[in-house]
Amino acid sequence: MIVAETKAASNRRLTRAWLVLVGLTLVSLTAALAVGRFESGLAAAAVALCASYIKARQVLDHFLDLRRAGSGWRAMFSGLLVVILGGLMAAYVAAG
């Protein structure tokens, strides 16, 4: 069992991850409500999917604590995210 981090350090790390998640959500939400709901095109879709990747990584690395697992696991989950989000981006490109 792992108690490498102090209480303050672990709370700070998790709170920082939460703030990143809240910040990215509020930015995308505000942009969607104010600028016209990402109908503006593929660039907006790419930004939204990139934000989704960053948020997913925060959850994987900090909430799920994958940073403690081997690099192979992190690469596997990153690859899975890239396949899903990349596939979605390809579908948006195909739709035009």
Partner 1 sequence: MVPAAEDSADWGALSSLPGNPIMWVLIISELLVFGAFFLGFGVARALDVPTFRAGQALLDIRLGGLNTLILITSGWLAALAVQARIRDERRLARLLLAGAMALGIAFLMVKGIEYHSKFELGYGLDSDTFFTLFFLMTGFHAMHVVMGVLVLAIVAWKDTVVNLETGTAFWHMVDLVWLILFPIVYLVR
Q: Which residues bind to partner 1, rule: CB under 8 A?
A: 1-3, 5, 7, 10-11, 14-15, 17-18, 21-22, 25-26, 28-29, 32-33, 37-39, 44-45, 48-49, 51-52, 55-56, 59-60, 62-66, 68-70, 72-73, 80, 83-85, 87-88, 90-92, 94-96
Give helix 71-95 / helix 42-58 axis angle, nearest 10°.
Answer: 160
Q: State the minimum distance, in angstroms, from the CB of residue 28 to partner 1.
A: 6
What are the distances in angstroms from CA 19 to CA 14, 22, 43, 57, 96?
A: 9, 5, 25, 14, 34
